[in-house]
Every structure is written in C-alpha cells, then in structure tokens.
Chain A
Amino acid sequence: MKGRITVQLKAGVLDVEGTAIARALGSLGFTASEVRVGRVFEVELGPEVANDPAGAALVLTDMARKLLANPVMERFEVEVLDGASGAA
C-alpha cells in the first residue's frame, strides 16, 4: 500500500516563495494571482496496513502530525494510493 502526503503552509501564512514564483510567472506573461508552494511525500507503507486503506490513512496522518508537517505553520492532506492501480 502506498500513500501520499501533501504539506503546505496554512492559508493565513504568507508564502514568500509562492509570491516570488507568482511574480516570475507574471513576467512570463501568465496570470497567476496566487501561488502556494507545497511538498509531496510518497510513502511505501509496511505490510501491517496491506489491504487496509483506513489503517493506511491513519498511519499517514500520524506520520504527518509527528514529523512531516509542522502544525504551527503547515497543513497537510493524506491520500491512500492503491498499489495496483495507482489511484486513490
């Protein structure tokens, strides 16, 4: 079972990197009123949650809470990916 965790700065937190990227996009002629930068973690999970999407989601959430996201400034989303099809 595979999982994906996406971590981003919280909505109220100024994303200085995103702001710089939005400006760069603008200089290329694109219209991007806001860009938020995030990080994606793809995790191959262990056998204990094989065929257990609910259990996998709990493990991913625990990983995000304990290490991958800093709750002071970041929020996260988890997705459980079915290893066979690659779809959530």
Chain B
Amino acid sequence: MRFAVISFPGSNCDDDCVRVVREVLGHDAYKVRHDVHDLDRPDVVLVPGGFSFGDYLRCGAIARFSPVMTDVAAFAGRGGPVVGICNGFQILTEAGLLPGALRRNVCLSFICEDRHVAVEGRSTPLTRGLSGEVLRIPIAHNEGNYCADEETLARLEGDGRVVFRYVAPDGRRSPEANPNGAANDIAGICNERGNVVGLMPHPERCAEPLLGNTDGRRLFDALLAAGADGGSR
C-alpha cells in the first residue's frame, strides 16, 4: 500500500510516519510537499503532527490553504482514507473536513505524556476491528481541547463518530482521564462517511518494540487491513 504523508513547513512527525510505514509495516510511504498538487496515487493520506506554519494565527489555520489541501479534500471526497494526527487533526478541522475545533488545553500548558484512549463508535479505516479496546498512546499538544456546538456534539455522539475517547487505564471515563478539557472526553472523531479520521494522540510514536509500546501499530495495521479490502483509489 502507498501512504502519502503531507509535509508542511513546521511539520515534525512526517518522518516518524514514513518510518513506521516503511520500516515497521514494510509498505510504501513518501512525503508530499504542501505546495504541490500531486498526491501521486496514494491508498492512504496521513496529515502528520507538528507545528505547521509555526501554529501562527490558529493551529492549522494557514496550512489549510496550502495547495495540496485541495487534493487531500478531493481524495477524501472520493472516499479515500485520510488520517490527521495532532496538528493534522487541527488542520482537518480548519479545512472543514472534520467538524469542530481544537482550543487551548484547559490547564494552559503543553502536555506530553502517555494517555489511554478507548476505541469506540463506528468502524473506520483506522479503527476497524479495534472497537472496545483501550490503547495507550502518547499525546503531545497545547491545543487539544476539542470543542463544537451542542448540536454538532449530539450528532457526533448519535452517529457513532466519536472514535477515540480519553479514559482511565481500566477503560472508565473520569474527569482525571481527560487531559485537556475536551468536550465529552473526545480524543478523535471521523467524518460522516467515516473515511476521514482525526485524533490528538500519536500512534506513530508507539508502533515498534524499541519504543516500549506497540499499541499505535494496531491502528496502522487496521489501515492496512482496510486497504486490502477496499482496494486502491
């Protein structure tokens, strides 16, 4: 399978994503610059974490106007799987590919630590076969406080579009398990069609034994399985 990893000025998890796909999964991954209009026929598009355009104005607000984003939107429109991780999630919300917005953490500090998330909701290319699992994945963000108006939140919940939720290690929800104040403990959501997923945790940072945690690999494996079934686009 071919994974296109989008690189904006200030992206810093693009190489990590490429490494996981190539070295851990043994599949094809390549970076696509923000200022080109050619995704080069990928099966999956990853919008990685980092600080695109220095996080100026709002996280993702400037990246969303990059030329490549029209191609990402078109790919998503054709049903292609698009995964936004951390800053990538922020970019996808700014681009309108996912609803809501990510505000500053309630604690007003950058948080970098392992967190547990429950996989739930409907099946997506990233979460297929993992519903009900609790994964330990690191987060690293200053703006991960998911918000949306009540109507949008109700729709997300009603349609099973909350696909990752911060929980305690035993899978239970609690105020302490929510690191950033996100509405409904939301750590990740998907679009209406289910092919665009955004999440704050970083699965690419915990996908190989050397790093002491392979929970993130399960999400990448799910992408591979989804691709094997769905065929290329």
Chain A contact residues, CB within 8 Å of chain B: 9, 13-14, 16-17, 20, 67-68, 70, 72-73
Question: Nearest Cβ distance between residue B104 and chain A, in whole angstroms?
Answer: 6
Taking a contact as CB atoms under 8 Å apart, the answer to whether A73 and B103 are in contact is: yes
Q: In the complex, A16→B108 CA distance in Å?
A: 7
| Complex interface: chain B residues within 8 A of A67 (CB) | 57, 61-62, 65
| Complex interface: chain B residues within 8 A of A73 (CB) | 101, 103, 147
| Complex interface: chain B residues within 8 A of A72 (CB) | 93, 99-101, 147-149
Chain B contact residues, CB within 8 Å of chain A: 57-58, 61-62, 65, 93-94, 99-101, 103-106, 108, 145, 147-149, 181
Taking a contact as CB atoms under 8 Å apart, the answer to whether A17 and B104 are in contact is: yes
Nearest CB in chain A to that of B104: its residue:
A16
- A-B residue pairs in contact (CB < 8 Å), sample of 17: A9-B103, A13-B103, A13-B147, A16-B103, A16-B108, A17-B108, A20-B108, A67-B62, A67-B65, A70-B58, A70-B94, A72-B93, A72-B99, A72-B101, A72-B147, A72-B148, A73-B101
Nearest CB in chain B to that of A72: its residue:
B101
| Complex interface: chain A residues within 8 A of B57 (CB) | 67-68
Q: In the complex, A14→B104 CA distance in Å?
A: 10
Nearest CB in chain B to that of A39: its residue:
B57
| Complex interface: chain A residues within 8 A of B94 (CB) | 70
Q: In the complex, A72→B149 CA distance in Å?
A: 7
Question: Nearest Cβ distance between residue B137 and chain A, in whole angstroms?
Answer: 24
Q: In the complex, A9→B101 CA distance in Å?
A: 12
**Known A72-B100, A72-B147, A73-B101; contact A16-B106, beta-carbon cutoff 8 A:** yes
A9, A13, A16, most chain B CB atoms within 10 A: A16
B61 partner, pick from A17, A20, A70, beta carbons under 8 A: A70
Q: In the complex, A73→B90 CA distance in Å?
A: 13
| Complex interface: chain A residues within 8 A of B99 (CB) | 72
Question: Nearest Cβ distance between residue A22 and chain B, in whole angstroms?
Answer: 13
B65, B101, B103, B105, most chain A CB atoms within 10 A: B103
Q: In the complex, A9→B61 CA distance in Å?
A: 16
| Complex interface: chain A residues within 8 A of B100 (CB) | 72
Q: In the complex, A32→B96 CA distance in Å?
A: 36
- Starting from the known contacts A16-B108, A67-B57, 14 additional A-B residue pairs (CB-CB under 8 Å) come to A13-B147, A14-B106, A14-B181, A16-B103, A16-B104, A17-B104, A20-B108, A68-B57, A70-B94, A70-B101, A72-B93, A72-B99, A72-B100, A73-B147
